[in-house]
Structure 1
Amino acid sequence: MVERITLMMVDDHHLVRQGILSLLEVQDDIEVVGEASSGEQALQMVAVLTPDVVLMDLMLPGISGVEATRKVKQLSPQTQIIVLTSYHDDEHIFPALRAGALSYVLKDVGPDELVATIRKAAHGEAVVHPRVAARLVQEIQGVKKEAHSVLTDLSEREREVLRLIARGHSNAVIAEKLVISEKTVKGHVSNILSKLHMLDRTQAAAFAWEQGVVQRSNEA
């Protein structure tokens, strides 16, 4: 027996929903369990239906598709969201992905590709339109450059403290290793968090590992 994927469509255009419905009706493994024309209606339906996949338009009356995406993920974390939109600019792409969307495809997508995207989403596999993928790569490269720039703002002593934070050492242990007072260590930690724009030492430690500030071959 074929395992069915339950799907809900959220789009304020009836013709769009009908076109997708006609496409999916002939798919043995995909069952459309609901249609919503607004974000508010989508949230009410998701709370009851908890579909496997939601096709989400971004331009909706009432709350936006981005906000609806965020709230759907809060209501039903296991539901995967595919943004299906005409927009491929930064002000739509990044907020939608940060809100919890798994995939981002444009409405010029081919029928077979859309069906394949739905099947992949049901298994947690992301699909993004090539234009969107290009912007993601550019953004990641930009973030890496920015991260390198931020690291250069740290003094050599702050880098030493950051390495030890990443190793999981407490302020007291760091003070002992660097032969400085614990109060001085606290000052360095505060400066590090401020310069890196981070909330706590856990974030700073993760950042240090990601950026290669500390490496597994280093001594503790």
Structure 2
Amino acid sequence: MTDTVVVIYSGGMDSFTLLHKAIAEGHRVHALSFDYGQRHVRELECASLVCRELAIPHKVIDIRALNAVMAGSALTGDLAVPEGHYEEDSMKTTVVPNRNMILLSLATGYAVTVAAQAVWFGAHGGDHAIYPDCRPEFVEKMDAVCRIANYQPVAIAAPFIRASKAEILGEGLALGLEYSQTWTCYNGRAKACGRCGSCVERREAFAAHGLRDPLPYEEEA
């Protein structure tokens, strides 16, 4: 029997690759996106366009009301978005408190509703230095809890949890994916800034494959 999975789909390149991986493996996919007041809400526009093209179910859940209890992040508040690499300590200002636990809890409820066997999300190896809720031990614990939280067990899977950004991109390139359909920059401007941690890591991934990122940047490399 083909499994049904809920893919948490931000519209960024990791979840874009994950979405197509699930489809390529023959799963029935329900895409789920969240508007939590992120500056880079443009990624949600990308997600909607892709899901329409793929003709797969897509829900965007507005959880901006939770900002009062998820405050203090450069992604949602007035703090400046830091520039540099993810491994730099300044990147801790991009942490949204408890974000993945909240999103996975909501996605698990949706999985029960649509009779899905699992929730997939795109945490990867490059996230480990800064984001506690993207580390293997977090995924393992959430998987254990969500399997017993309802009458219907739901698995939590992060297929890229030990992969680098370049490795994820490599998998997507092998699938023939078009990454101009994604948005990664933490700043929601007309062009990607090229300097925030998300942009830096993305450009490094393309460079590792000897390719140029198809997104337009404010400062071209």
Common fold: TM-score over 0.5: no
TM-score (normalizing by structure 1): 0.29
Q: Which has the higher contact order (CA 8 A, sep 6+)?
A: 2
Whichever of the two has the greater Rg, that structure is: 1
